[in-house]
Structure formats: C-alpha cells, structure tokens
Chains A and B, each alone.
Chain A
Amino acid sequence: MRIAADIFTIVAILTGAFFFLAGTVGLLRFPDTLTRLHALTKADNLGLGLVVLGLLPQSSSVFGGLKMILVWLLVLLASATVSQLIARAARRGGPHP
C-alpha cells in the first residue's frame, strides 16, 4: 500500500515537474508577451495541480491534504483572474519603453 502511494506520488510529481519545464521552455521560446502568458498560466497551473495531487498521499492528516487542495483552488482562481488582467494590460499598453 505504502509502495503504491509512493509510486503514485513519484509519477504525479514528475509529470508536474514536466509541465513546469514546459512552461519555462515556453517562456524562453514564445515570441511575445501574450503568447508567453499562455505558456505561464496554462502549463504552470497544471504543474502545480499535479504536484499537489502527488503530495496528497504523503500528507500526515486529512486536513493537511484539504489545505493543499484549497491552496491549489485559490491559485487556480487567482491565476484565471490575473491572467486576463495581464492580457488586458498587454493588449492596451503594448511594450512600455
């Protein structure tokens, strides 16, 4: 049982790390601010979600796990809101000097 939980953790966190890598590669390669915003929000949110999912079996209490899920939901909500605010700012302003 312990081993199954550990394997689950390792697989989920490795997948999450892969999406953090993808987000950073996107930031490096995508040509402008708005496309980089896509790379940042979509890939990193998924990365964080998978990291949280992977950490759940390692949490010592149910409430520790619930709190981590709450963190993830907060981040998801915040980034969904903030990403459109950033997109609006980028569309309106263009690059400042």
Chain B
Amino acid sequence: MRPVPDKGKEPVSHSRVPTILERGLLFFLVWLVLMPSVKLADLVVGVIAAVLATWTSLRLLPPEAGYLRFGALLAFVPHFMWQSVLAGVDVARRAFDPRLPLRPGFVVCRVGFPPGPARNEFAVITSLLPGSVPAGDVEGAIIYHALDTRQPVAEQLAEEEKRLTAALIGGDGHD
C-alpha cells in the first residue's frame, strides 16, 4: 500500500549506499503521491525535495545506528492491521460493557532488542496491539501499561517479539 522499493533493491551489506538509494526512492515516491504531475519542472522540484529529505534523514538517523528491513516489515502489515482492528474492538467492548471490565496495571516485559532503532520500532509496533501501550523502559525491558492485567499480556508480547526479531535485527530468518 505504501510505496516502498521492491525487495530486490534491499541492502545486502551494511554499506551506506543502498540505504541512501532506498530512502531517496521512498521519498520520491511519496512526492509523486503528493504531486501527481509529470511536468518536467514538477519532477525537478520533486527530486530536489527527495534529496533534501534523504539528507535530513541521514543526519537524524544515520544508517550506522542500526538498520531496519522495510521489506521484511512489510510482510507483517496485514498481521498488524488485523491486530489494530482487534485492539479497537477490544476497547469498544470494554467501553460499552455495563460492568466496565478493566484491571489496569503495568506489565514489565523483557525484550532482547538492544536500545536503539530496533527497540523503538518494536515499541511503536506493539503499541498497536490490543490492551497494551508502552509506557517506559528499564534495563533490558519495556514497561507496558495494560488495560486488563488478567489477560496474558506478557505472553502475547513475547510472541510478537519472536515474530519480529528477524525483521528488526536483520538476521537471515524471514524474507
């Protein structure tokens, strides 16, 4: 759905060049969605904008900081769409239930990801899951706020971690 370079263009080494090309192409595709015109002047402005955006992104998030496999993450989009539907239904069910079935509390969840982009990405993705929102981290773990601590929140998160490890760390598991 989101314009993303195809998998053949994915970086295979940790060299900077493929990452830069990938980001540049992504920004240019976003430009084309925003400004669907094939006039030369518009395209030139688009290329300039994409170059500036890529340069900014390299300043803010250098490729050395860790690297995310967009292609591998894309494979999880349907799964997380569905989780986010379940999350909405879960909240709606609790909100309309006359007995208001809540048992809010914090759940500390150990994660294997080192602090950095991989862990942040994991936190962002898991914030879509039903009944949990990341609310802080401590050494080697993320603290989640759960709507109902009777639910197996920690188990569910461990499951997602297993699922995502290959995509976020860049091991050769998925893809």
Q: Which residues does A use to contact B, with CB under 8 Å?
A: 18-19, 22-23, 25-26, 29-32, 34-35, 37-39, 41-43, 45-47, 49, 63, 66-67, 69-70, 73, 76-77, 80-81, 83-84, 87-88, 90-92
Selected A-B contacts with CB under 8 Å, 5 pairs: A34-B145, A35-B147, A38-B133, A46-B89, A84-B127
Of B28-36, B38-46, B48-56, which binds chain A?
A: B28-36
- Closest A residue to B92 using CB positions: A22
Q: Point out which of A31, A35, A47 has the most chain B C-beta atoms below 10 A from its C-beta.
A: A35
Question: If the complex has contacts A34-B133, A87-B133, are A45 and B2 also in contact, measured as CB distance less than 8 A?
Answer: no
Are A46 and B33 touching (Cβ within 8 A)? no
- Chain B contact residues (Cβ within 8 angstroms of A): what range? 35 or more
A26 B135 Cβ-Cβ under 8 A: no
Can you list, as one digit per residue, whether each of B98-140 has a CB less than 8 Å from chain A (1) or not (0)? 0010101010000000000000000111011011011110000
A26 touches B124 (CB 8 A): no
Of the listed stretches B16-24, B64-72, B80-88, B162-170, chain A binds B80-88
Contact status B91-A42, CB under 8 Å: yes
CB distance from B60 to the nearest CB of A (A): 14
A45 to B89: give the CA distance in the assembly, Å: 11
Q: In whole angstroms, how far apart are the Cα atoms of A43 and B136 in the complex?
A: 22
Measured CA separation A93–B58 after assembly (Å): 33
A-B contact count (CB 8 A): 107
| B residues adjacent to A (C-beta < 8 A) | 1-2, 30, 33-34, 36, 84-85, 87-92, 94-96, 100, 102, 104, 106, 123-125, 127-128, 130-131, 133-136, 143, 145, 147
Interface of A is mostly: helix
Is there an interface contact between A84 and B135, defined as CB atoms closer than 8 Å?
yes
Contact A87–B102 (Cβ < 8 Å)? no
Contacts of B135 in A (CB 8 A): 34, 84, 87-88, 90-91
Across-interface contacts of B123 in A (CB, < 8 A): 84
